[in-house]
Amino acid sequence: MRKLFAFGLVFLLGLMALAPVGAQNTESLVLYSGRNEELIQPIIDRFIEETGVQVDVRYGNTAGLANQIIEEGANSPADVYLGQDAGALGALAQAGALAPLPDDILERVSPVFRSPDGLWVALSGRARVLVYNPPLLEELGLPLPDSIADLTDPMYRGLVAWPPTNASFQSQVTALRLLLGEDETLAWLQDMIANDVIPFSNNTALNQGVLAGEAVMGLTNHYYIFRIYNEDPDAPIALHFFPAGDPGSLINIAGAGVLATSDQPGLAQRLLLYLLGTPAQQYFADMTVEYPVIDGVALDERLTPLDQIEPPDIDLSDLADLEPTLDMIEDSGALD
């Protein structure tokens, strides 16, 4: 009997030795994330803990990772791409790099926040706004502009800021090109420069500059102001949403898609479903004060609800047409 037991034990140990390492948990994904690790990793860690699916997250620049996927082609290890701009998602869709998503994912969000071909979905919304310093504006006796086009008026000379190298700003210029045309958009850029627009390196610096009085107002995303409010709830800074579908009130998104080359499409879709669930959507709403894209998620009470904003009528997938925008910004002299 002892010999039989010993033989069985040796046989079992032999089988275990032949088994591939990690066979006990073969479910894993590779996520390319254009959103920063500080924001994304905690919610990915929750997904891992709740599902047991391992996720290898590779962080980088939104546009850079999209280009990397296109260059990698069929050899890309990525299963899921997460970007902070609809333009990058649109570029991947145009390149045939994304797989169609099932209805149970697509139907969770409004049609305006997903690919018309069902290739990507939004995970959160970010509004383009004008941030301004109310005491300074009142001191100057100036009204808030009704349109982004009004910022070229001489009464705002030397008062307006923009971040010309910022991806969100560049997407806004792409929207202007689509809505107003090439000539009018180039003229707007040149008129802004002629009106002594103040350049900042990024949105954070711009918002701090408006708070400090280095500029009276500036073009930015809506959520940066709340980082200031977290430190000083009474800070003299506020948001202005351009009315009546003005091109300045673009609602862009952060979103995700499943790679067409993924060998784990079911698991990849499971991650997207998780990120569109109420707990994850509430996490995004609380952490970044972005707009949730599903119903039933509490919005920061200081934030203007989406149904009170009048964005321009635009297909967010078209924001992928970025190269002419970059050429136009450079040709206008905005980067000089």
Domain ranges of the chain: 27-124+253-304, 126-250+321-332
pLDDT digits (tens, 9 = 90+) for 179-199: 999 999 999 999 999 999 999
Q: Is the pLDDT of residue 17 over 50?
A: no
Range with the lowest mean pLDDT among 124-133, 167-176, 255-264?
167-176
27-124+253-304: CATH, from 3.40.5.50, 3.40.50.12280, 3.20.20.100, 3.40.190.10: 3.40.190.10
pLDDT tens sequence across 82-96 = 998 899 999 999 999
For the cut 80, the answer to whether the pLDDT of residue 3 exceeds it is no
- Tell me the C-alpha to C-alpha distance, in Å, between residue 180 and each of 123, 162, 187: 28, 19, 11
Tens digit of pLDDT for each residue in 250-279? 999 999 999 999 999 999 999 999 999 999
Cα–Cα distance, 163 to 169 (Å, whole number): 7
What are the phi and psi torsion angles at 251 (to 5°)? -105, 105
The average confidence (pLDDT) of the chain is: 91
pLDDT category at 21 given cuts 50, 70, 90 is very low
In the prediction, which pLDDT does 25 show? 52
The pLDDT, as a whole number, for residue 63 is 86
The 3 state secondary structure assigned to the chain is CHHHHHHHHHHHHHHHHHCCCCCCCCCEEEEEECCCHHHHHHHHHHHHHHHCCEEEEEECCHHHHHHHHHHHHHHCCCCEEEECCHHHHHHHHHCCCECCCCHHHHCCCCHHHECCCCCCEEEEEEEEEEEECHHHHHHHCCCCCCCHHHHHCHHHCCCEEECCCCHHHHHHHHHHHHHHCHHHHHHHHHHHHHCCCEECCCHHHHHHHHHHCCCCEEEEECCHHHHHHHHCCCCCCEEECCCCCCHHHCEEEEEEEEECCCCCHHHHHHHHHHHCCHHHHHHHHHHHCCECCCCCCCCCCCCCCHHHCCCCCCCHHHHHCCHHHHHHHHHHCCCC
Q: Is the pLDDT of residue 292 over 90?
A: yes
- pLDDT-derived band at 322 (thresholds 50, 70, 90) equals confident
Burial class (CB in 10 A: 0-12, 13-18, 19+), 244: exposed
In the predicted structure, residue 23 carries a pLDDT above the cut 50 = no
What's the pLDDT band for 228 if we cut at 50, 70, 90? very high
Percent of the chain with pLDDT over 70: 92
CB atoms within 10 A of CB 273: 16
Q: Which fold is adopted by the domain 126-250+321-332?
A: D-Maltodextrin-Binding Protein; domain 2 (3.40.190)
Most confident region among 7-11, 95-99, 298-302 by mean pLDDT: 95-99
Q: What is the pLDDT of residues 191-225, one digit of tens each?
A: 999 999 999 999 999 999 999 999 999 999 999 99
Q: How confident is the model at residue 167 (pLDDT cuts 50, 70, 90)?
A: confident
**β-bridge partners, 59:** 33
| Average pLDDT estimate for 143-166 | 97
* Cα of 219 vs its chain's centroid, Å: 16
Mean pLDDT of 292-319: 92
CA distances, 261 to each of 18, 74, 282, 308 (Å)? 30, 6, 31, 40
**pTM of the predicted model as reported, rounded to 2 decimal places:** 0.86
Q: How far, in Å, are 110, 136, 251, 284 from residue 291 at the CA level?
A: 13, 29, 10, 8
Q: Give the pLDDT mean for 315-321.
A: 91
| Partners of 80 in beta bridges | 31, 258
Q: Within 10 A of 31 (CB to CB), how many other CB atoms are there?
A: 20
Among 15-19, 31-35, 132-136, name the one with the lowest average pLDDT.
15-19
Same fold across 27-124+253-304 and 126-250+321-332? yes
Say how far apart CA 42 and CA 332 lie, in whole Å: 41
Average pLDDT over residues 232-246: 96
